[in-house]
């Protein structure tokens, strides 16, 4: 039995390598990266929330809820995962899981959620994360809302920051995605990455 899944875009990073600001607001093919992520993710989920800190008005064009990190002073992706779980628990009690994706990944798989849900069910696992070209992407993950309290305890009381340290306590399945013609988990972290993303988009268009 499958439940309802909320998409959470982790847009809370400091983007130091991009010169500051929000990576998701950078333009790719004349469109913000965040718009490309939402276009790919929205058909797969039962709603989307942005995880970002600071003034939420900068994301007003998208008309989506913005949830800041649930733990003050905690910098890292687990804070974003926790924020997504907390938001779902407080606002959407029918949501059983969240799927998190980074705010700088414009080539997100269009079958990401279906494949992760299926793989987790088949493996009898608690969590799922994505893999491509032999590299795991712990922040591209499927997380059950029922683990909110467990994660909050780990983050707040145990000061755990590394995703892998927490996921190692649970049954995790890794889901392999093809890295051709474009790696679906390509991150536009720096100006040179943005230039490469433009090249990939020009070369492969909608197949990217």
Q: What is the CATH number of the domain that holds 47?
A: 3.90.550.10
Q: How many domains does the chain have?
A: 1
The three-state (H, E, C) secondary structure of 126-140, written as one string: CEEEEEECCEEEEEE
Whether the pTM exceeds 0.85: the reply is yes
Question: For every one of its 208 residues, what pLDDT tens digit does the chain have, with 9 covering 90 and above?
Answer: 458 999 999 986 554 433 455 788 999 999 999 999 999 999 999 999 999 998 899 999 999 999 998 787 766 899 999 999 999 999 999 999 999 999 999 999 999 999 999 999 999 999 999 999 999 999 999 999 999 999 999 999 999 999 999 999 999 999 999 999 999 999 988 888 888 888 888 887 766 6
Residue 207 has a pLDDT of 63
Domain range for 70 is 4-207
Residue 206 has a pLDDT of 66
């Amino acid at each position: 039995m499958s439940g309802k899944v909320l998409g959470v875009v982790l847009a809370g990073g400091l983007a130091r390598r991009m010169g500051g600001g929000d990576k998701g607001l950078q333009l790719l093919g004349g469109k913000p990266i965040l718009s490309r992520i939402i276009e790919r993710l929205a058909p797969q989920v039962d709603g989307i929330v942005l995880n970002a800190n600071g003034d939420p008005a900068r994301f007003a064009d998208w008309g989506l809820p913005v949830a800041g990190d649930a733990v003050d002073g905690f910098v890292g992706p687990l804070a974003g995962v926790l924020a997504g779980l907390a938001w779902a628990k407080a606002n959407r009690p029918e949501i059983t899981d969240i799927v998190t994706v980074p705010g700088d990944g414009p080539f997100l798989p269009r079958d990401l959620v279906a494949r992760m849900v299926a793989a987790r069910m088949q493996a009898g696992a608690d969590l799922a994360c994505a893999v491509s070209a032999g590299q795991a992407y712990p922040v591209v993950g499927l997380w059950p809302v029922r683990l909110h309290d467990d994660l909050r305890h780990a983050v707040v009381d145990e000061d755990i920051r590394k995703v892998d340290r927490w996921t190692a306590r649970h049954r995790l399945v890794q889901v392999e995605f093809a890295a051709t013609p474009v790696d679906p988990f390509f991150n536009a972290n720096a100006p040179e990455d943005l230039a490469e993303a433009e090249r990939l988009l020009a070369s492969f268009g909608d197949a990217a």
